[in-house]
């Protein structure tokens, strides 16, 4: 299945970001803690050259705790300021202000030497669709000032938010990039809901998902659905349908509904904490 999704509004959004980068002191980049590398848009590194950088491992509550720690170490070693957060519960969000001060220390010091004090730092908040950007901004701003939704690409237009005297945020729409480096990146982004489901075939997505997680997290699938066999993703999907009583009129297992259920369960964390890629795996080097 082709997972590539790069609609025209993303090109426009990227242009908006390029036009505004001159006003920005730092980039706050949200990634999905379950796919901490694949959910980073490589174009952001080009955009953010020379800027202070923060990476937030969002949805940390849905990812393996040991992996969260390993990824934080990974990104710190690369010179990023890093934090794990749960934007939905607000956990970790209150540490942002001090992290911004830390990340912008050189900038603030340069300003001070030029006689500029108390200028708010301007942060561009970036992240691919569905990574939790709106939820994060709402949590940080303490009120529902940004529209949130579960459709990729729902955040539109340009939006400055003054948080306090030290920090202003520029919200940006969720953008992907024109060509994923490999099939597994596209797949993982589809699993976490960052690729528009309308272009995907749910049965294929579910089969790919089972194949992808079976070795590491097969026991979580078994527990959740009471599976007796682990033989072949298609067979497992069929068993999920039977166990959940998703049966078509003629008595056939309803694979379509079972597929949607499985993916929704994963996205909502109902299968348990899962991380889909770990530092040190082959494809992770170099980013
Ligand atoms: P976006 O702006 O980046 O596109 O994402 P958005 O904030 O709309 O969040 C997408 C979904 O992810 C929402 O769920 C949101 O609640 C959920 N979410 C965001 N951050 C976290 C987190 O840290 N942990 C968990 N567990 N979930 C998070 P939804 O089901 O689409 O909407 P809703 O039912 O929560 O409103």
Main-chain dihedrals φ then ψ at residue 79, nearest 5 degrees? 95, 10
Ligand 1 centroid distance, CA of 34 (Å): 14
Cα 157 from Cα 138, distance rounded (Å):
17
Ligand 1 centroid distance, CA of 135 (Å): 6
Q: Which of 167, 124, 117, 123 is nearest to 142 (CA)?
A: 167
Ligand 1, atom 22, lies closest to the CA of 59
Ligand 1, atom 13, lies closest to the CA of 150
Q: Tell me if 131 CB under 6 Å of ligand 1.
A: yes
In percent, how much of the chain has pLDDT > 90? Answer: 86
pLDDT tens-digit map of 119-168: 999 999 999 999 999 999 999 987 544 444 444 444 444 578 888 889 99
Q: Tell me if 155 CB under 6 Å of ligand 1.
A: yes
Q: What is the pLDDT of residue 142?
A: 77
Ligand 1 centroid distance, CA of 286 (Å): 29
Cα 66 from Cα 224, distance rounded (Å):
21
pLDDT tens-digit map of 12-47: 999 999 999 999 999 999 999 999 999 999 999 999
Q: What is the pTM of this model?
A: 0.92
185: which 2 tokens? 């990146």
Q: Tell me if 59 CB under 6 Å of ligand 1.
A: yes
């Amino acid at each position: 299945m082709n997972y590539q999704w790069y609609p025209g509004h993303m090109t426009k959004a990227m242009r908006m970001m390029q036009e505004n980068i001159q006003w920005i002191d730092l980039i706050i980049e949200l990634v999905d803690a379950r796919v901490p590398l694949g959910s980073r848009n490589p174009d952001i590194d080009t955009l953010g050259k020379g800027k202070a950088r923060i990476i937030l491992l969002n949805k940390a509550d849905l990812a393996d705790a040991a992996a969260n720690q390993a990824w934080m170490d990974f990104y710190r070693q690369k010179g990023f300021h890093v934090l794990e957060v749960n934007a939905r519960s607000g956990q970790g969000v209150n540490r942002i202000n001090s992290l911004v001060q830390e990340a912008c220390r050189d900038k603030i010091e340069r300003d001070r030497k030029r006689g500029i004090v108390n200028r708010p730092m301007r942060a561009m908040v970036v992240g691919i669709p569905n990574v939790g950007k709106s939820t994060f901004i709402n949590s940080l701003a303490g009120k529902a000032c940004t529209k949130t939704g579960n459709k990729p690409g729902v955040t539109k237009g340009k939006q400055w938010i003054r948080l306090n005297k030290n920090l202003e945020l520029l919200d940006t729409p969720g953008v992907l990039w024109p060509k994923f480096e490999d099939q597994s990146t596209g797949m993982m982004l589809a699993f976490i809901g960052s690729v528009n489901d309308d272009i995907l075939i749910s049965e294929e997505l579910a089969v790919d998902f089972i194949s992808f997680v079976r070795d590491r997290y097969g026991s979580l699938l078994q527990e959740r659905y009471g599976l007796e066999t682990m033989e072949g993703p298609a067979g497992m999907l069929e068993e999920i349908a039977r166990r959940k009583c998703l049966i078509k009129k003629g008595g056939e297992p309803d694979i379509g509904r079972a597929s949607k259920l499985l993916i929704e369960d994963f996205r909502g964390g109902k299968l348990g904490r899962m991380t889909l890629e770990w530092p040190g795996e082959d494809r992770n080097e170099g980013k």
